[in-house]
Amino acid sequence: MELIYAVLVQPFVDMYLDPLIFIETVIKGLMAGVLYSLVALGFVLIFKASGVFNFAQGVMALFAALTLTGIMEYMPDGLPKWLTVIVALGATVVIMILLAVIIERVVLRPLVNQELIILFMATLGLSYVLEGAGDLMWGSDVKVLDIGLPTDIWDIGGVYVEQLDVTAAIAAGSLVAVLAIFFTKTRIGRALRAVADDHQAALSVGISLQQIWVIVWSVAGIVALVAGIMWGSKSGVQFSLSLIALKALPVLILGGFTSIPGAIIGGLIIGLGEKVVEVFWYSVHGGAVENWFAFMLALAFLMFRPQGLFGDKIIERV
Amino acid sequence: MRLSKASIAIAAAGVIAGAAWAETARADYDSYTVPNLVYRTGAYAPNGIPLANGFIDYFNMLNERDGGVEGIKVDVVECETGYNTKVSVECYENLKNEGQSGALVFNPHSTGVTYALIPKASEDKIPILSMGYGRTSAADGTVFPYIFNFPATYWSQASAFVKYVGEKEGGMENLKGKKIALVFHNSAYGKEPIKTLETLGAKYGFELMLLPVDHPGQEQKATWLQVRRGKPDWIFMWGWGVMNQVAIKEAAAIRFPMDKFIGVWWSGSENDVAPAGPAANGYLAGTMHAPGSNFKALEEIKTHVYAKGNGAGEEARVGEVLYNRGMLEAIFTAEAMRNAIKIHGTKDIRGEHVRDGFEAIDLKEADFDRLGLKNFMKPIKITCENHEGDGPIAIQQWDAAAGKWNIVSEWIEPMHDVVRALVKEDAAAYAKENNITPRSCS
Amino acid sequence: MLYRETGQFKRNYAADQQLFPIFQDKILLAAILVVALAIIPFVINDYWSKAILLPFMVYALVALGLNILVGYCGQISLGTGGFMAVGAYSSYKLCTAFPELNLIFVILFSGGCTAAVGVLFGLPSLRIKGFYLAVATLAAQFFLIWMFNKVPWFYNYEMSQITAPPREVFGFLVSGPQAEPAAQYLFVLGFIIVFTWIALNLVRGRVGRSWMSIRDMDIAAELLGIRPLQTKLLAFAVSSFYIGMGGAIIFHIWLGTVEATEAFDILQSFFVLFAIIIGGLGSVLGSFLGAAFMALMPVGLKVVLVDWIGMVPVTAKHIEFMLVGSLIIFFLIKEPHGLARMWQIAKEKLRLWPFPY
């Protein structure tokens, strides 16, 4: 009886009694969700265009952030900050694009038409390589990433909102907007969608698969850079950054592997759900349930929609 | 043909016998093997690197300055574990018979790995120095003859924190009705202090709030919302790796007063406060030794090692908290080796002799002066029963503007009466479960 | 030439259905068994046992289990680490609650417990497929690890790090710090031999064929009268049984002490999945080859880079990472069906060698 009360009644009473904390929990949950979405977005882009479940996305975020801080360290001191940041960002983007080209040449091209799980494994191998290379080049110390993002908080009537979170949300929002325009309005975007729909058909109308893949991986690399900046500003750039990929997985299955809006909405649901449960059901579970709860939540959704909320409908034929 | 084969065999046998003879006849080793299980890669590398650097630099300095320990070079063999238990076990087995002396001591640098190595090392008669971490009840030398966790255990440290809080609140009686939150790494390590804090909570009437953070601890929003909701008066933190940095940043983001936030001594290095920037100003952490590079021993490391270009890290980072701690591990190890040589009257020491050397550690103020570490830490004495020492603990505070740690408290004596009873109880349970007869120390 | 089957006639059904019908295979197997049973126990030491042979054998057993699920039944699972933890913790509970119980039964029973848990988490597989299922099994991974870390009953209300008490089997100490490496090795080897034999027979029998038909196309299999739910759940059960035993052996024999959050984390799940893909999906031999590759290559690379070339350990580690990653990619490109398939090709070549035409 007590347990039932603790599970079903007490948390809602707490929410009512402490509305400020509840509002803050909701806001922070949504913000955390945005950060998850940023990582999930990279997964979705690549899965959509090439059917590759790119597990290296987390390591790519680490690699991008490491490269960024590394380049910033090597910039001459006298330059104004904004110039340093812009040059370093530009250089990092170039490196991520180069990386995409190399990945396409070395890893993807020889594996065309292989089973999904083989491609998945190849990206895991890739994550080993990138991890080793990133550490070897830039060292394993914590690096402080400061590109001038606001780190203070706003106190709105007792509700604390972190400016960095808001920045991340704006960045994610604009990224999605840009991607949406890119996908719908440009020639390359249309080609991308064609490839995502049907490789064979796209090939037959003269779309170069290789070129499309390089573009997609470059875009995913840039998304990884944004994710790396947002996460890295918080904790410093270090190896653990690569583990954020795990936080994106429940978002992916919830939103569907192939849907960009799915990644965003999935992220918001997961972020919100896990924070509210963690905070308000604390007396039931005693904390640290976020990780499995996110997966359970996604699993519960999957039982009703096996392709995720926005994923392509699975059609099975004999 | 036959004959030549036989002669080869005889010759080979002769060579082997000769080698064996040479082995027994030589009075001293060429070098001592001191392995070090380090992690310069992986999620905990930022903390592992300065620890490892301090350790190896000190021995390199001894090799340069004195030709090693008692004139015999010390060969520090690093094995990269990535904070992984399975790899650490591989490293341990690989290195335990390394060199002429065999491994003289192991520093696991992880509480989990320490647990894994305790039974095996006791069997192989190699001491484990888990300096200020590892299994707390290993402080009982009768049950754990080969394990050392001085200068203080987690439980002692937790009790010292409670004392500090009591002092700041104006007396232990004022702890009644206060609320202390423990933010901890959700593992055997992080859970260590819970029992002690619960016992003390019952004794002094403060409420304990437990907030676990899963590895690696990149995302802690919920934990700190919980703090917002529970409004604890003080926060203790048992963290490691990225968890520390994120926690300090989140604490700042909810405007928690930093001078009421105390980290364990593994949560109080320069790395941990750096990403939070000025917001970390005032953050407190426990410590067993003084911070800073203003010590003669560190100067000697700079002249004998860094000036010759043999430093393991950057010279600017000599004197960081974790660097000093790595060096302290090396100092204790070297002292134990010297003691072992003195006690056993031979330079051919092995792990079991070094164990006796550890149990003979008795460093007074004058000894620290001799080591070039004036006022670095309090005198320490290890005995056969007591592998923990009496470890007074200090609280250090981060000064963000100056970018350095300062000791801000007296040296606090842990509540031995409470902690030792818990240690005895836990050690006895371990002895019973594993059929160990506690040795007699008298 | 070396591998010629001509002249090896089967004169009855029994001969036709034996596990190793080809003479050369029998010789090879016999040779491996002789080395494993009669030579290694006399030369084994702590290092070879704890750093090389035990990891290889344990991961081979676990990989075999996962291969049954992924390779034969086509259900991708990333919950391996969690299931290993179930095996380890149930064996700890069993052997502390019943100190008299023989360790063999402890390990078998903990396999049983894991099978039950595996079935439970296998239930969604009827509706969820492919990568969605893979990620869904992560729910099992994270939940189980959380539970073992959280609920004190599982670790007898002490430290959350559990330690294996010393136990004897047939008068030989196999668990605890005093155990002889040879005894531990033979104990695990016994499990490996028996359960490899069982697996070989399972996968070629009716059960194995129904798994494979589900893997190849589940709707078609259903039309043929194979009940998908039962078949998939059976695969989950058998697979988890193997994985659970592996977890129990890791705890009792190899490490002697484990902590759920560290020893059985998500990386273990990936590690084993790696092993079976590198080794070969849907191949018993592949499980062994893959486990050997994944468990031994880092050790081998370390020996080469650090001990022979004299590289700084940390640089060696980074390079080792890159090499392992590149080798994985290389093997996937060269032979996506794994090392087992390479062995098969080698055998084809040997059949003709040295006259390929």
Which has more pLDDT, B335 or A112?
A: B335
Q: Are C319 and C267 in contact (CB under 8 A)?
A: no
For residue C165, give the DSSP letter: P
Residue with tokens 């109880």: B425
Whether the CB of B73 is below 8 Å from some CB of chain C: the reply is no
Residues of chain B contacting A279 with CB distance shorter than 8 Å? 222, 225-226, 229
Looking at residue A126, its pLDDT comes to: 92
Whether C7 maps to a domain, the answer reads: no
Rounded to the nearest angstrom, the minimum Cα separation between B78 and chain C is 7
CATH number, residue A132: 1.10.3470
CB contact under 8 A, C142 and A257: no
Please give the interface size between A and B, counted as residue pairs whose CB atoms are below 8 Å apart. 114
Q: Does B345 score more than 50 pLDDT?
A: yes
CA distance B303 to C312: 23
Confidence of residue A203 (pLDDT cuts 50, 70, 90): confident
User: For residue B50, what are the β-bridge partners?
Assistant: none
Q: Does B137 score more than 70 pLDDT?
A: yes
Q: Are B159 and B296 in contact (CB under 8 A)?
A: no
Chain C residues interacting with chain A (CB cutoff of 8 angstroms): 76, 124, 127-132, 135-136, 138-139, 142-143, 145-146, 150, 217, 219-220, 223, 266, 270, 273-274, 277-278, 281, 315, 318-322, 324-329, 332-333, 336
Looking at residue C94, its pLDDT comes to: 94
- pLDDT, one tens digit per residue, over C177-236 is 888 999 999 999 999 999 999 999 999 999 999 999 999 988 899 999 999 999 999 999
Q: Count of residues for chain A? A: 318
> Taking all residues of chain C, what is their mean pLDDT, rounded to a whole number?
90
Which chain B residue shows the shortest CA-CA distance from A275? B222
Looking at residue A3, its pLDDT comes to: 84
End-to-end CA distance of chain A: 50
Whether C42 maps to a domain, the answer reads: no
HEC secondary structure over C194-256: HHHHHHHHHHHCHHHHHHHHHHHCHHHHHHCCCCHHHHHHHHHHHHHHHHHHHHHHHHHHHHC
Looking at residue B21, its pLDDT comes to: 44
Q: Packing angle between helix C103-122 and helix C130-150, nearest 10 degrees?
A: 130
CA distance C200 to C203: 6
CATH number, residue C282: 1.10.3470
Which chain C residue shows the shortest CA-CA distance from A288? C146
Confidence of residue C245 (pLDDT cuts 50, 70, 90): very high
Contacts of B14 (CB under 8 A, 6+ apart): none
Confidence of residue B281 (pLDDT cuts 50, 70, 90): very high
Domains contained in chain C, number: 1
Copy the structure tokens of residue C196.
């490899």
Please name the member of C55, C160, C177 whose beta carbon is closest to the beta carbon of B119. C177
Residue with tokens 């034996």: C18
CA distance C87 to C241: 8
Q: Does A68 score more than 80 pLDDT?
A: yes
Q: Does B24 score more than 50 pLDDT?
A: no
Please name the member of C165, C178, C299 whose beta carbon is closest to the beta carbon of B433. C165
CA distance C84 to C79: 9
Q: Does B317 score more than 70 pLDDT?
A: yes
- pLDDT, one tens digit per residue, over A77-103 is 778 888 889 999 999 999 999 999 999
What domains are defined for chain B? 29-152+292-391+422-433 (3.40.50.2300), 154-287 (3.40.50.2300)
CA distance B298 to B301: 5
Q: List % helix, strand, coil for chain A (3-state, nearest 5).
A: 75, 5, 20
- For C21, the enclosing helix (H) or strand (E) is none
Q: Does B1 score more than 70 pLDDT?
A: no
CB contact under 8 A, B222 and A275: yes
Q: Does B78 score more than 50 pLDDT?
A: yes
Which chain C residue shows the shortest CA-CA distance from B185? C261
| Opening angle at CA A169, ends A166 and A170, nearest 5 | 90
Rounded to the nearest angstrom, the minimum Cα separation between B431 and chain C is 11
Q: Are B278 and B401 in contact (CB under 8 A)?
A: yes
Copy the structure tokens of residue B197.
């804090």
Q: Does A149 score more than 60 pLDDT?
A: yes
Give the domain extent around C226. Answer: 47-352
How many C-beta atoms surround the C-beta of residue A308 within 10 A?
26
Residues of chain A contacting C128 with CB distance shorter than 8 Å? 299, 302-303, 306
Residue with tokens 């599970």: A7
**Which of B196-217 are b and which e, b meaning 16 or more Cβ less than 10 Å from the residue's Cβ?**
bbebbbeebebebbbbbbbbbb
Rounded to the nearest angstrom, the minimum Cα separation between C146 and chain A is 7
Looking at residue A209, its pLDDT comes to: 84
User: For residue B183, what are the β-bridge partners?
Assistant: B211, B237
- pLDDT, one tens digit per residue, over B238-255 is 999 889 999 998 998 888
Whether C2 maps to a domain, the answer reads: no
> Taking all residues of chain B, what is their mean pLDDT, rounded to a whole number?
89
Looking at residue A317, its pLDDT comes to: 66
Which has more pLDDT, B324 or A73?
A: B324
Q: Are B358 and B148 in contact (CB under 8 A)?
A: yes
CB contact under 8 A, C313 and B82: no
What distances in angstroms separate CA B25 from CA A61, B100, B101, B437, one per listed residue? 59, 13, 15, 38
The percent of residues above 70 in pLDDT, for chain B, comes to 94
For residue A318, give the DSSP letter: -
Whether C15 maps to a domain, the answer reads: no
- For A306, the enclosing helix (H) or strand (E) is none
Mean pLDDT within B389-400 = 91
Looking at residue C357, its pLDDT comes to: 64
Q: Does A239 score more than 60 pLDDT?
A: yes
Please name the member of B116, B135, B186 whose beta carbon is closest to the beta carbon of C255. B116
Beta strands of C139-195 (E only): which ranges?
162-163, 167-169, 172-175
Mean pLDDT within A186-190 = 87
Confidence of residue A316 (pLDDT cuts 50, 70, 90): low
Q: Are C294 and C278 in contact (CB under 8 A)?
A: yes
Confidence of residue A184 (pLDDT cuts 50, 70, 90): confident
Whether the CB of B303 is below 8 Å from some CB of chain C: the reply is no
Q: Does B26 score more than 60 pLDDT?
A: no
Residues of chain A contacting C143 with CB distance shorter than 8 Å? 292, 295-296
CB contact under 8 A, A291 and C142: yes
Q: Does C103 score more than 90 pLDDT?
A: yes
- pLDDT, one tens digit per residue, over C141-186 is 999 999 999 888 998 887 778 888 888 888 889 988 888 999 999 9
Contacts of B30 (CB under 8 A, 6+ apart): B72, B73, B100
CB contact under 8 A, B216 and A278: no
Which chain B residue shows the shortest CA-CA distance from C97? B433
**Which of C186-220 are b and which e, b meaning 16 or more Cβ less than 10 Å from the residue's Cβ?**
bbbbebbeebbeebbebbeeebbebbbbbbeebee
**Which of B303-328 are b and which e, b meaning 16 or more Cβ less than 10 Å from the residue's Cβ?**
ebbbeeeebbbeeebbbbbbbbbbbb
Q: Does C304 score more than 70 pLDDT?
A: yes
CA distance B303 to B318: 12
HEC secondary structure over chain B: CHHHHHHHHHHHHHHHHHHHHHHHHCCCCCEEEEEEEECCCCCCHHHHHHHHHHHHHHHHHHHHHHCCECCEEEEEEEEECCCCHHHHHHHHHHHCCCCCCCECCECCCCHHHHHHHHHHHHHHCCCEECCCCCCHHHHECCCCCCEECCCCCHHHHHHHHHHHHHHHCCCHHHHCCCEEEEEEECCHHHHCCHHHHHHHHHHHCCEEEEEEECCCCCCCHHHHHHHHHHCCCEEEEECCCHHHHHHHHHHHHCCCCHHHEEECCCCCCHHHHHHHHHHHCCCEEEECCCCCCCCHHHHHHHHHHHCCCCCCCCHHHCCCHHHHHHHHHHHHHHHHHHHHHHHHCCCCCCHHHHHHHHHCCEECHHHHHHCCCCCCCCCEECCCCECCCCCCEEEEEEECCCCEEEECCCCECCCHHHHHHHHHHHHHHHHHHCCCCCCCCC
Give which of B326, B336, B355 is closest to B58, Cα–Cα.
B326
Q: Does B363 score more than 60 pLDDT?
A: yes
CB contact under 8 A, A135 and C321: yes
Whether A61 maps to a domain, the answer reads: yes
Mean pLDDT within C116-140 = 88
Rounded to the nearest angstrom, the minimum Cα separation between C217 and chain A is 8
Contacts of B165 (CB under 8 A, 6+ apart): B175, B178, B180, B234, B262
Q: Does B74 score more than 90 pLDDT?
A: yes
Q: Are C58 and B97 in contact (CB under 8 A)?
A: no
Give the domain extent around A211. Answer: 2-304
Mutate to test the interface with B, among C46, C249, C262, C299 (most CBs of B within 10 A): C262
Copy the structure tokens of residue B315.
């010279």
Copy the structure tokens of residue A100.
């995409």
Contacts of C310 (CB under 8 A, 6+ apart): none
CB contact under 8 A, C219 and A307: no
Residues of chain A contacting C270 with CB distance shorter than 8 Å? 124
Whether C215 maps to a domain, the answer reads: yes
Q: Are B74 and B58 in contact (CB under 8 A)?
A: no
Least confident of B92-101, B236-245, B299-308, C20-29: C20-29
Confidence of residue A188 (pLDDT cuts 50, 70, 90): confident
Q: Does B8 score more than 50 pLDDT?
A: no
Domains contained in chain A, number: 1
Q: Does B13 score more than 70 pLDDT?
A: no
> pTM of the full predicted structure?
0.92
HEC secondary structure over A66-112: HHHHHHHHHCCCCCCHHHHHHHHHHHHHHHHHHHHHHHHHHHHHHHC
| CA diameter of chain B | 94
Residues of chain A contacting C318 with CB distance shorter than 8 Å? 132-133, 135-136
Whether A120 maps to a domain, the answer reads: yes
What distances in angstroms separate CA C6 from CA A32, C23, C348, one per listed residue? 67, 10, 13
CA distance C180 to C189: 14
Q: Does A232 score more than 70 pLDDT?
A: yes
Looking at residue C191, its pLDDT comes to: 96
Whether C232 maps to a domain, the answer reads: yes
Least confident of A165-179, B26-40, B49-63: B26-40
Copy the structure tokens of residue C271.
């590690």
CB contact under 8 A, C131 and A289: no
| CA diameter of chain C | 70
For residue A240, give the DSSP letter: G
Mean pLDDT within B368-396 = 91
| Opening angle at CA B384, ends B383 and B390, nearest 5 | 35
Q: Which chains touch B (3 or more CB pairs under 8 A)?
A: A, C
Confidence of residue B14 (pLDDT cuts 50, 70, 90): very low
Whether A311 maps to a domain, the answer reads: no
Confidence of residue A210 (pLDDT cuts 50, 70, 90): confident
Q: Does C309 score more than 70 pLDDT?
A: yes
Is the C-alpha dihedral spanning B340, B344, B346, B349 positive or negative? negative
The percent of residues above 90 in pLDDT, for chain B, comes to 67
Residues of chain A contacting B253 with CB distance shorter than 8 Å? 153, 160, 162
Residues of chain B contacting C151 with CB distance shorter than 8 Å? none
User: For residue B75, what are the β-bridge partners?
Assistant: B33
Looking at residue C247, its pLDDT comes to: 96
Whether A312 maps to a domain, the answer reads: no
Task: Report residue B347 CA to chain centroid gap.
Answer: 26
Task: Report residue B351 CA to chain centroid gap.
Answer: 18
Beta strands of A134-182 (E only): which ranges?
153-156, 159-162
Q: Which chains touch A (3 or more CB pairs under 8 A)?
A: B, C
Looking at residue A152, its pLDDT comes to: 82
Confidence of residue A257 (pLDDT cuts 50, 70, 90): confident
Copy the structure tokens of residue B293.
């590079």
Whether C259 maps to a domain, the answer reads: yes
What's the alpha-carbon Rg for chain B, to the nearest Å?
Answer: 23
Mutate to test the interface with C, among B60, B80, B137, B238 (most CBs of C within 10 A): B80
Which chain B residue shows the shortest CA-CA distance from A21? B229
Residues of chain B contacting C173 with CB distance shorter than 8 Å? none
Q: Does B7 score more than 50 pLDDT?
A: no
CB contact under 8 A, C166 and B123: no
Whether the CB of B40 is below 8 Å from some CB of chain C: the reply is yes
Mutate to test the interface with B, among C257, C267, C322 (most CBs of B within 10 A): C257
Which chain C residue shows the shortest CA-CA distance from B49? C314
Looking at residue B16, its pLDDT comes to: 47
Looking at residue B105, its pLDDT comes to: 94
CA distance A241 to A236: 9
